[in-house]
Amino acid sequence: MSTTLQSQQRAAVLKGLGTFLPERVVTNEELSQRLETSDEWIRSRTGIGQRHWASPGTATSDLAVEAGARALKAAGCQSVDAVVLATTTPDHPCPATAPAVAARLGLGTVPAFDVGAVCAGFVYAAATASSLIVAGVAERVLVIGAETYSTILNPEDRTTSVIFGDGAGAMVLQAGTAREAGALLGFDLGSDGSLPGLISIPAGGSRQKSDPTPPDPSDFYFTMQGKQVFAHAVNKMGDSCAALLERIGWSAQSVDRLVGHQANVRILHALADLLGVERARAFVNLDRVGNTSAASIPLALADAVEDGEIRAGDRVVMSAFGGGLAWGSTALLWPEINVITSH
């Protein structure tokens, strides 16, 4: 699925960005003490140096509220018309987490719902919010990506425990026109449901509960077939970015910053190579935060701005890929906005 906007057209415009990371930093060395792994393996195979994990008692909504409050403050607004929350780790299987987040942010009885597209969730949530705005249903929407992967990781699985981190990022999108800086210029979204087992939590849903065979306790944890996912991530984000760039009329060489889902630095470099974007333009912050799934794109955007790697006027392309399989890309000219982080 794809959309692009003409310059006069009503568009969703980025007005403020906020992020939150839980205080606890888990280093590669700490994980190496209880798992058969090493700082050398983790850094060389993924680029990850550390990640943040929430402390016991902290749920996804707690991180989402912190990031959402910062985004609202950054945008200088106290109200929105809707809240769209992307997460793989909702507070409960039922109800959705977004209504609780909206209530705790003092946003009243606005529509609030969750979007589940795993690591591609933030782009899907932004596309949903953008569609509400372009259709005239909403003037302003708070989009949040928040995760507590530490609650779904199998502590004995070195193939996933070293990869994922917790965190949240949020942005305020407001109605404007496609010619303004900050306007989301189009989306390319896709999925391939023929490969659901590459990234999954096998148990806990209706499929397992409808099965009389008792599940293995490890089936309640997150699993990933990393090698196969790697290849799909590069190819699907590559095709998605290329399709988006063609439709919005940007050459790969004109992209100032490629903000890809922070899963693996080797994926980010392979994606840049495939597109013909210089590797130095592929932003990397997974060394600091690991793979934060639906929170990955806003956390990367905020760090890129704070590092001076994204400046007003830059052409920024975002692309994400994850379980489903699901992927998506969007692009904007970076606006003059406030960014408020917790770190």
- Binding residues for ligand UT7, rule: CB under 6 A, are 37, 41, 45-46, 119, 158-159, 162-163, 226-227, 229-230, 233, 263-264, 267, 291, 293, 321-322
CB of 16 to ligand UT7, least distance (A): 26
Q: Least distance from C-beta 286 to ligand UT7, angstroms? A: 10
Pick the closest to residue 290 from 115, 153, 85 (CA basis): 153
CB 101 to ligand UT7: min, Å: 23
The CB density around residue 246, as the number of other CB atoms within 10 Å, is: 14
Closer residue to ligand UT7, CB minimum distance, 100 or 233:
233
Q: Choosing from 28, 264, 285, 291, which is the catalytic residue? A: 291
Active site residue 291: yes
Q: Compute φ and ψ for 35, nearest 5 degrees.
A: -125, 155
The residue type found at 26 is V
Nearer to ligand UT7, 11 or 325 (CB): 325
Query: Between 32 and 338, whose beta carbon lies closer to ligand UT7?
Result: 32
Residue 339: which residues within 8 A CB-CB, separation 6 or more? 16, 17, 18, 19, 74, 301, 302, 305, 306
H/E run at residue 174: strand 167-177
Minimal distance in Å, beta carbon 320 to ligand UT7?
A: 8
The residue (of 162 and 302) whose beta carbon lies closer to ligand UT7 is 162
Considering the candidates 28, 119, 232, 241, report the single residue annotated as catalytic.
119
Q: Is 264 a catalytic residue?
A: no
Q: Which backbone phi and psi does 85 adopt, to 5 degrees?
A: -115, 120
Per DSSP (E only), the strands in 228-301 are 257-260
Instruction: Respond yes or no: is residue 261 known to be catalytic.
Output: yes
The residue annotated as part of the active site, out of 52, 241, 261, 264, is 261
Q: Which residues contact 320 (CB under 8 A, 6 or more apart)?
A: 119, 120, 121, 122, 123, 237, 260, 261, 296, 297, 327, 328, 329
Instruction: Please give the residue whose beta carbon sits closest to ligand UT7 in the complex.
Output: 226
Active site residues: 119, 261, 291
